[in-house]
Amino acid sequence: MTDVAARAGVSVGTASKAINGRGQLRAATRERVLAAAAELGFQPNALARGLIAGRSYTVGVLTTDSFGRFTIPIMLGVEDALGAGEMSTLLCDGRGDPLREQHYVRTLLSRRVDGIVVTGRRLDPRPPIGDLPIPVVYVYTASASPDDLSVVSHDEQGAGLAVRHLMRTGRTHIAHVTGPERHLSARLRAAGARSTLAENGREFAAGGVLWGEWSEAWGRAAGEILIRSGAPFDAVFCGSDQIARGVADTLRESGFAIPDDVALIGFDNWDVMVEGCRPPLTTIDPNLTELGHVAARRLLSAIEGDPPEHGEIRLPCTLVIRQSSEAARPYEAPPAASPVRASSQHAES
Amino acid sequence: MTDVAARAGVSVGTASKAINGRGQLRAATRERVLAAAAELGFQPNALARGLIAGRSYTVGVLTTDSFGRFTIPIMLGVEDALGAGEMSTLLCDGRGDPLREQHYVRTLLSRRVDGIVVTGRRLDPRPPIGDLPIPVVYVYTASASPDDLSVVSHDEQGAGLAVRHLMRTGRTHIAHVTGPERHLSARLRAAGARSTLAENGREFAAGGVLWGEWSEAWGRAAGEILIRSGAPFDAVFCGSDQIARGVADTLRESGFAIPDDVALIGFDNWDVMVEGCRPPLTTIDPNLTELGHVAARRLLSAIEGDPPEHGEIRLPCTLVIRQSSEAARPYEAPPAASPVRASSQHAES
C-alpha cells in the first residue's frame, strides 16, 4: 500500500480509501491510485479481508479416495457450484485413516474454512467427522448419523432402469453379476434389480446373484460360470462396467453375439471401460458430477445461514444406451420388422 | 479466547500468553489455560497467525487436467512432500482455459499462497503462468520459459528401457505403435526407442513408427495393420498402455501367442489397463508420484529462501515386467534351456 501511495503521489490513507472504495475522493485521484495499483500488481489481502468478515471464503474437501476416479467427477461438480474463484477449495486426503482424517479436520478448522464437503469411494455409511461449528455435507459416501446431510446416488433406482430396459427390449432371462456382498452399493443394485423383476413376476436367471469382486477378471470368470451352468440367459446386468467388460470378453470368445444373443449392461459410465468394451457398453450413470454440484450448493446455503438440513438426498441415476443392448424391440413387433439399434449414445432416465 | 480465559479463571491477556507460549507464567497457570482451551475445542486462528508471519502455509496447485488420471498420482506425491497438514493445498482447475487460469492465479495471489505447483496432462511446454512474486514449479507439463523450473519424466530414457528389455530377451523385430505425432511425449518415446535400436544397428520393424491416437481402438486397428503388412515382427512397444491393450486383443484373436510369438510393452503403468490386459502388461512407469514429490520439495526449498532453480529436471522411468514380455532369455542360451518367465511383477530400472 505504501508503494502504491508513493507511485500515485498520495498519502497511504488516501490510497487505502481509493482501493477499498471508501471515503470522499476526487475521481481523478481514485483513478490515479487504481492505475498505480494495477502497475505494481497490487493484490488486496484476502487473509486480512477474511479476518474482518469472519469468513475465509474457503471450503474444505475431505476425501478418503486418494483423489481416485470417484472423487474426480465429484470435485468437478463441487468446483462448478462454488464458482470459479469466488470460493476456494482446500483439499485433504484422509486416505481411509481416521487419525489422519481427524488431523485434517483440525487443520481445516484452524484455517477457518466456511464449510466442509466429505467424500469417499464407498456408498456405505461412515462415522461422522465430528460435531463441528461449521456446516458439513457428505457426498457419495453417507454419514451414519441421521443429523447429517448426505447426497448419494440412488443405486436401487438405477438398477431398476437397467432391468426395465432389458425387459422392454424383449429379454426374459436376466442374470446379475456384481461385486462383494459386503458393499452396500452391490447390495442396493441387486435389490433394485430383484424388486423390478419381481414386479413383473420374474427372478434372476442362473439361480440368483453372482457376487464376486469389482474387476474384469471376476467378470471373465463369471461369464464362464454362466455358460457352464447350462441355465438359459439372454441378458446380463453387471454391478460395474469393469465386470461387464470381463463378461463381454468371455461371451464373445465363447461364440455368443452381443447384443444379438445376450444383451449386456454395466454400472458407472466410466469412459475408458465403456469405450474399450466390445461392443461399447450400455450402462447406468450415477451422475457423480451432479452429486458434487448438489452437495456444494447445499453447503453454500448452509454457510449463508439457511436452516440446517439432514437426512439423505438420493439423486436419480440415468440409463446410457450404447451397442451392447438393443434399443426398444416391443414384444408384439411383427416378425418382418428389423430390430432398431441405437447408432450413437443417448440418455434416457 | 474470552471463553478460555473465563473457564480457566484468568485474564484474557494471561490466556493469550499461555496459548501462544509467550511471557512469564507459572506452569500450573499455563496448564490450566491449555486444559480449558482443549475442553472448549479452542483452535488458534491460522488466518491471523499467517498474517503476522507473512506466510499462509498454503500452496496452490493449478491443473489443466480437470483432476484427471495424470493429476491424481502427482497430487499424492505433492501432498506427501508437503506433510500432512503442515502446509495445505488450494486446488484450482484451469480446464485448459487461459482466462480461467489467469483468474485462478490472481485468486491464489490474493490468498497469499506461499508458492504454486502447475501441472497438466501433456508433457508439451506450455506458456508460463506469469512473472509472479512467489516461487512456482511446473510438474509433468514443462514451462516454455528457461527461467522456470520444470520437473518431468524422462520419456526417451523410458523408451530405451523398453527396447533394451526386448532385445535382451531375444527379440529382433520390434514394431512401435503410438499416439499422435503432434504430442511431445509420443515423439520422445519414439526417439528414445529409435536411438536405442540404432545403437545396436537396428531399426523399427514394419517400416517405422505407426502414429495414431491414445486409444484401445487405435491399438486394435494397428494390430490389424501390422499383421496385414506381412512384415516380420516378434515384439511391439506401444506408446501407452491403452494402445498396448488394443494390440493385445487383435494379436490374440488372430492366433498370436503373447509373449511366445510376440512380446508386448506399454507405457504409463495405469493399473486398470495393465491388469485388464491379457496377459497382464509389461510397461514403463513414469513415476508420477515421485514427480509430484520432487516438485513439491523444490517448491518448499524455494519458499524457505533457497536460491531459485531453473531448467528441466528429468526423472528416470522404471521398467515393470509382467507376463506380456519374457524375462531374460540370452541370445547364446543352449537350445535345451527353457525360457524363464517372470511369475510376478518386479521392477527393474
Whether the pLDDT of residue A315 is over 60: the answer is: yes
Select from B112, B133, B217 the Cβ nearest to the Cβ of A47: B112
In this structure, the number of other CB atoms found within 10 A of the CB of residue B124 comes to 14
Contacts with A, B 54-83, CB within 8 Å:
56, 58, 61, 66-69, 71-72, 75-76, 79
Say whether both B160 and B138 belong to one domain: no
pLDDT band at B98 (very low <50, low <70, confident <90, very high): confident
Q: B85 in contact with A at a CB cutoff of 8 Å?
A: yes
Residue B67 confidence (pLDDT)? 60
Q: B201 in contact with A at a CB cutoff of 8 Å?
A: no
Flag if A276 and B79 touch (Cβ within 8 Å): no
Say whether both B198 and B339 belong to one domain: yes
Amino acid at the residue B89: T
What percentage of chain B carries pLDDT values higher than 90? 58
Residue A98 confidence (pLDDT)? 87
Average pLDDT, chain A: 86
Say whether both A96 and A233 belong to one domain: no
Whether the pLDDT of residue B138 is over 50: the answer is: yes
**Mean pLDDT within B290-310:** 92
Tell me if B118 is assigned to some domain: yes
**Mean pLDDT within B99-123:** 88
Residue B18 confidence (pLDDT)? 78
Contacts with A, B 125-164, CB within 8 Å:
133
For the ranges A31-35, B14-18, B208-212, B337-341, the lowest mean pLDDT is seen at B337-341
**Mean pLDDT within B240-256:** 97
Whether the pLDDT of residue B73 is over 90: the answer is: no
Whether the pLDDT of residue B36 is over 80: the answer is: yes
Select from A43, A58, A276 the Cβ nearest to the Cβ of B110: A43
Select from B91, B100, B273 the Cβ nearest to the Cβ of A84: B100
What percentage of chain B carries pLDDT values higher than 70? 87
Is ipTM over 0.90? no
Say whether both B129 and B262 belong to one domain: no
Residue A198 confidence (pLDDT)? 98
Flag if B106 and A216 touch (Cβ within 8 Å): no
Whether the pLDDT of residue B333 is over 50: the answer is: no
Q: What is the pLDDT of residues A48-66, one digit of tens each?
A: 555 555 677 889 989 887 6
Which comes out higher in pLDDT, residue B47 or B319?
Answer: B319
Is-contact B302 B176, C-beta < 8 A?
A: no
Residue B331 confidence (pLDDT)? 43
For the ranges A33-37, A134-138, A297-301, B162-166, the lowest mean pLDDT is seen at A33-37
Residue B348 confidence (pLDDT)? 41
Flag if A276 and B245 touch (Cβ within 8 Å): yes
**Mean pLDDT within B98-111:** 87
Nearest chain B residue (CA) to A82: B92
Say whether both B93 and B232 belong to one domain: no
Which comes out higher in pLDDT, residue A15 or B167?
Answer: B167
In this structure, what C-alpha cell is assigned to residue A179?
461385486
Residue A36 confidence (pLDDT)? 83
Q: CA-to-CA distance for B322 and B283, rounded, in angstroms?
A: 8
CATH of the domain at A120: 3.40.50.2300
pLDDT band at A34 (very low <50, low <70, confident <90, very high): confident
Contacts with B, A 25-54, CB within 8 Å:
41, 43-48, 50-51
**Mean pLDDT within B23-43:** 77
Say whether both B123 and B178 belong to one domain: no
Distance (Å) from the alpha carbon of A8 to chain B's nearest alpha carbon: 21
For the ranges A30-44, B69-83, B223-237, B241-255, the lowest mean pLDDT is seen at A30-44
Say whether both B342 and B218 belong to one domain: yes
Whether the pLDDT of residue B332 is over 50: the answer is: no
Nearest chain A residue (CA) to B94: A84
Distance (Å) from the alpha carbon of A242 to chain B's nearest alpha carbon: 9
Tell me if B50 is assigned to some domain: no
Q: B224 in contact with A at a CB cutoff of 8 Å?
A: no
Tell me if B260 is assigned to some domain: yes
Residue A112 confidence (pLDDT)? 86
Q: In this structure, what are the phi and psi dihedrals at residue B289, rounded to the nearest 5 degrees?
A: -65, -40
Q: CA-to-CA distance for A99 and A95, rounded, in angstroms?
A: 10
Flag if A110 and B45 touch (Cβ within 8 Å): yes
For the ranges A149-153, A291-295, B75-79, B153-157, the lowest mean pLDDT is seen at B75-79
Whether the pLDDT of residue B248 is over 70: the answer is: yes
Domain that holds residue A189: 155-281+322-348
Average pLDDT, chain B: 86
Question: How many domains, chain B?
Answer: 3
Q: What is the pLDDT of residues B256-288, one digit of tens each?
A: 999 999 999 999 999 989 999 999 999 999 999
pTM for the full predicted model:
0.78
pLDDT band at A327 (very low <50, low <70, confident <90, very high): low
Flag if B85 and A76 touch (Cβ within 8 Å): no
Residues from chain A contacting residue B91 (CB–CB below 8 Å):
61, 75, 89-91
Whether the pLDDT of residue B159 is over 70: the answer is: yes
Size of interface A-B (CB pairs under 8 A): 123
Whether the pLDDT of residue B54 is over 80: the answer is: no
Q: A9 in contact with B at a CB cutoff of 8 Å?
A: no
Whether the pLDDT of residue A43 is over 80: the answer is: no
Residues from chain A contacting residue B56 (CB–CB below 8 Å):
47
Tell me if B85 is assigned to some domain: yes
Q: CA-to-CA distance for B308 and B291, rounded, in angstroms?
A: 18
Best probe of the A interface among B43, B59, B70, B281, by most A CBs < 10 A, is: B43
Nearest chain A residue (CA) to B271: A215
Phi-psi region of A208 (alpha: psi -120 to 50; beta: other; left: phi over 0): left
Tell me if A295 is assigned to some domain: yes
Residue B327 confidence (pLDDT)? 56
Whether the pLDDT of residue B38 is over 80: the answer is: no
Say whether both B122 and B209 belong to one domain: no
Say whether both B105 and B147 belong to one domain: yes
Which comes out higher in pLDDT, residue B45 or B71?
Answer: B71
Whether the pLDDT of residue B343 is over 50: the answer is: no
For the ranges A38-52, A138-152, B301-315, the lowest mean pLDDT is seen at A38-52
Distance (Å) from the alpha carbon of B110 to chain A's nearest alpha carbon: 5
Nearest chain B residue (CA) to A44: B110
Residues from chain B contacting residue A278 (CB–CB below 8 Å):
249
Tell me if B49 is assigned to some domain: no
Tell me if A51 is assigned to some domain: no
For the ranges A84-93, B158-167, B212-221, B287-296, the lowest mean pLDDT is seen at A84-93
Whether the pLDDT of residue A84 is over 60: the answer is: no
**Mean pLDDT within A154-170:** 97
pLDDT band at B334 (very low <50, low <70, confident <90, very high): very low
Q: A109 in contact with B at a CB cutoff of 8 Å?
A: yes
Tell me if B51 is assigned to some domain: no
Say whether both B82 and B99 belong to one domain: yes
For the ranges A95-109, B48-62, B168-182, B334-348, the lowest mean pLDDT is seen at B334-348
Give just the sign of the alpha carbon dihedral A218, A221, A223, A226: negative
Three-state SS across chain A? CHHHHHHHCCCHHHHHHHHHCCCCCCHHHHHHHHHHHHHCCCCCCHHHHHHHHCCCCEEEEEECCCCCCCHHHHHHHHHHHHCECCEEEEEEECCCCHHHHHHHHHHHHHCCCCEEEEECCCCCCECCCCCCCCCEEEECCCECCCCCEEEEECHHHHHHHHHHHHHHCCCCCEEEEECCCCCHHHHHHHHHHHHHHHHCCCCCHHHCCEECCCCHHHHHHHHHHHHHHCCCCCEEEECCHHHHHHHHHHHHHCCCCCCCCCEEEEECCCHHHHHHCCCCCEEEECCHHHHHHHHHHHHHHHHCCCCCCCEEEEECCEEEECCCCCCCCCCCCCCCCCCCCCCCCEEEC
Most trustworthy range by pLDDT among A280-289, B2-11, B68-77: A280-289
Which comes out higher in pLDDT, residue A15 or A182?
Answer: A182
Query: B316 in helix, strand or coil?
Result: coil
Residue B144 confidence (pLDDT)? 94
Say whether both A92 and A172 belong to one domain: no
Residue B319 confidence (pLDDT)? 97
Flag if B84 and A103 touch (Cβ within 8 Å): yes
Say whether both B260 and B302 belong to one domain: no
Q: B100 in contact with A at a CB cutoff of 8 Å?
A: yes
Nearest chain B residue (CA) to A131: B41
